[in-house]
Amino acid sequence: MNLLDYRPGHTAVHRCPLWAKYAVLLALSAVLVFWRQPLVVGVTLVVVLALYLAASLPREFLAPWRRGWPLLLFAGIARFISGIWGPTPAPPLEALGPALVVVAAVFGALAAARLLVITTPGTELLDGLERFFGVLRPVGVNPEAAALAVNVMIRSIPWVGGAVRRNAEALASRGLRRGPVRLMGPVLVATVGHARATGEALAARGLPGDHGETRESRPS
């Protein structure tokens, strides 16, 4: 099952208007980005978990961790390294705390975004994105193409996580260490191939362009 598949339901979270879901997602993401304090991040994670419980999807809360651990690990390592060798270097133990907070914040943002996607039908999400990008039509933005691009980008995230997992398993089966250098090369090649295949499939099925194609040309 795809990480971002819609999970049907009749809870208040499922029935909530799309604009309200986006508003909550924006508020939670802003808190996690601008107030990366342990207590604030912890409380925000509790709020996100409560929303999963309200949506009757408690088992889905940790899915971003299971599928997106490479991204979370990279964010934590990057923050740890910047804490040790940044403008104001700190001892490793002191740098570890902020790194863990960053990991928790990124996880919280991913979990919040994922809850919006899995409690909202794909067509409704796409229509909402179109309405948002419609405001930018006067400056040359094609709302349908922009909405579809965002949708494809979001749904490609779990594919990349799966590619990392598959390559890690392949290395382990050959008795090789699963280091970042060995992982990144094959994953990069596979990701480029996936992007090209996705682009060709969208073009073959009528990707909206800049000449006013209709909604009927959108891939299902």
For 136-175, what is each residue's pLDDT tens digit? 888 887 887 777 777 676 666 667 767 777 777 787 788 7
Whether the Cβ atoms of residue 152 and residue 202 lie closer than 8 Å to each other: yes
The rounded percent of the chain whose pLDDT value lies above 90 is 30
Residue 206 has pLDDT above 70, yes or no: no
Q: How many CA atoms lie within 13 A of 128 on its CB side?
A: 17
| pLDDT for 46 | 97
Of 196 and 1, which is predicted with more confidence?
196
C-alpha closest to that of 104 among 37, 162, 50, 156: 37
Question: Burial code of 52-67, b = ≥16 C-beta within 10 A, e = fewer?
Answer: bebbebeebbebbeeb
| pLDDT for 212 | 43
Rounded to an integer, what distance in angstroms lies between the CA atom of residue 57 and that of residue 118? 10
Secondary structure letter of residue 220 according to DSSP: -
Q: How many CA atoms lie within 13 A of 45 on its CB side?
A: 19
For 54-84, what is each residue's pLDDT tens digit? 999 999 999 888 877 777 888 889 888 888 8
Torsion-angle region of 218 (φ positive above 0: left; ψ -120 to 50: alpha; else: beta): beta
Residue 133 has pLDDT above 70, yes or no: yes
Confidence of residue 218 (pLDDT cuts 50, 70, 90): very low
Residue 49 has pLDDT above 60, yes or no: yes
pTM: 0.67
Rounded to an integer, what distance in angstroms lies between the CA atom of residue 153 and that of residue 51? 24
